[in-house]
């Protein structure tokens, strides 16, 4: 199985400041057909299912604010919230969909400082 | 807009079979451009993918090794839905269960809390 390791476990950031979440895969998730990494990011708020924010490492879903961005290559990936808003308080997960079993990181809880 | 609506009981006793259904609106379970997944979430296991089905000229199934001997995912084209059956449940199967569409999971059901307790 591909193990996804997120850091940090939690993060407190002031409103308007940058939040950075890291995710490392135990092996490549590069899909050769399109030369893109099969890496997604989700946001989960209490009592709700996860919501897909970003797929293919850096492609934002429709309606996702542009303060959310994804980057990375190889086995190291990053989700950045450029200017934290109150509504961004949530747990964030990375996930690989390169091969089954689909696997998730352990989550990063983002709070307001 | 695709929506997934889950249904099924939330309380089971050990050794019983968990049965959940995910009704699809805005898409077809037999589309050849999507997969239909079950995922569960618990404090001890985090987010855990259980399995999926998808149609590519015939029906295909992928299951997580951790539940492979106990799980069945069934598409139902007549009702445009898919189901999860997990047999011989134990308290360790207590979790919130979600259905979800896609390879990356683009659309999720609302979640069904399931408790296994004697």
Q: Give pLDDT tens digits for A45-77.
A: 999 999 999 999 999 999 999 999 999 999 999
Q: What is the DSSP string of A42-82?
A: EEE-TTS--EEEEETTTEEPTT--TTEEEEEETTEEEEEES
User: Phi and psi dihedrals of A85, rounded to 5?
Assistant: -110, 160
Q: How far apart, in whole angstroms, are the C-alpha atoms of residue A97 and residue B104? A: 6
Q: How far apart, in whole angstroms, are the C-alpha atoms of residue A55 and residue A83? A: 21
Q: For residue A18, give how far its alpha carbon lies from the nearest alpha carbon of chain B (Å).
A: 26
* pLDDT, tens only, B63-88: 999 999 999 999 999 999 999 999 99
Q: How far apart, in whole angstroms, are the C-alpha atoms of residue A29 and residue A77? A: 11
Q: Which of B113, B110, B104 is nearest to A93 (CA)?
A: B104
Residues of B in contact with A41 (CB under 8 A): none
Cβ(B40)–Cβ(B17) below 8 Å:
no
Q: Is A42 on the interface with B (CB under 8 A)?
A: yes
pLDDT of residue B58: 96
pLDDT of residue B84: 98
DSSP-based three-state secondary structure for A19: strand
pLDDT of residue A84: 98
Residues of chain A with pLDDT under 50: none
Q: For residue B60, give how far its alpha carbon lies from the nearest alpha carbon of chain A (Å).
A: 13
Q: Is A2 on the interface with B (CB under 8 A)?
A: no
pLDDT of residue B2: 97
Q: How far apart, in whole angstroms, are the C-alpha atoms of residue B61 and residue B51? A: 7
Q: How far apart, in whole angstroms, are the C-alpha atoms of residue B98 and residue B42? A: 11
Cβ(B80)–Cβ(B102) below 8 Å:
no
8 Å CB contact of B104 and A51: no
Please report which confidence band the pLDDT of residue B1 belongs to, taking 50, 70 and 90 as the band edges.
very high
pLDDT of residue A36: 94
The distance of Cα B112 from the centroid of its chain, to the nearest Å, equals 10
Which among A51, A97, A106 has CB closest to B46?
Answer: A106
Listed in sequence order, the residues at least 6 apart from B59 whose beta carbon sits closer than 8 Å to its beta carbon are B53, B75
Please report which confidence band the pLDDT of residue B54 belongs to, taking 50, 70 and 90 as the band edges.
very high
Cβ(A79)–Cβ(A94) below 8 Å:
yes
* pLDDT, tens only, B82-105: 999 999 999 999 999 999 999 999
8 Å CB contact of B46 and A107: yes
pLDDT of residue B21: 98
pLDDT of residue B56: 95
Q: How far apart, in whole angstroms, are the C-alpha atoms of residue A45 and residue A110? A: 10
pLDDT of residue A67: 98
Q: How far apart, in whole angstroms, are the C-alpha atoms of residue B17 and residue B71? A: 10
Q: How far apart, in whole angstroms, are the C-alpha atoms of residue A33 and residue A16? A: 38
Q: Is B37 on the interface with A (CB under 8 A)?
A: yes
Q: Which of B78, B97, B109, B99 is nearest to B11 (CA)?
A: B97
Mutate which: A6, A40, A60, A101, vs B, most B CBs within 10 A = A101
pLDDT of residue B40: 98
């Amino acid at each position: 199985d591909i193990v996804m390791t997120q850091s940090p476990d939690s993060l407190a950031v002031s409103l308007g400041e940058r939040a950075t979440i890291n995710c490392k895969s135990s092996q490549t998730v590069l899909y050769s057909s399109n030369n893109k990494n099969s890496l997604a990011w989700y946001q989960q708020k209490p009592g709700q299912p996860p919501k897909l924010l970003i797929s293919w490492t850096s492609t934002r879903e429709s309606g996702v604010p542009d303060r959310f961005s994804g980057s990375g290559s190889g086995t190291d990936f990053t989700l950045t919230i450029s200017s934290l808003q109150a509504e961004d308080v949530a747990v964030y997960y990375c996930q690989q969909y390169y091969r089954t079993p689909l696997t998730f990181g352990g989550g990063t809880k983002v709070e307001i400082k | 807009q695709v929506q997934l609506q889950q249904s099924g009981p939330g309380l089971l006793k050990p050794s019983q079979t968990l049965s959940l259904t995910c009704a699809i609106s805005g898409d077809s379970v037999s589309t050849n451009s999507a997969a239909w997944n079950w995922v569960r979430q618990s404090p001890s296991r985090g987010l855990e993918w259980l399995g999926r089905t998808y149609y590519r000229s015939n029906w295909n199934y992928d299951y997580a090794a951790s539940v492979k001997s106990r799980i069945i995912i069934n598409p139902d084209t007549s009702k445009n839905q898919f189901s999860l059956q997990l047999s011989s449940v134990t308290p360790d199967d207590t979790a919130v269960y979600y259905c979800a569409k896609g390879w990356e999971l683009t659309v999720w059901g609302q979640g069904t809390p399931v408790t296994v307790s004697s």
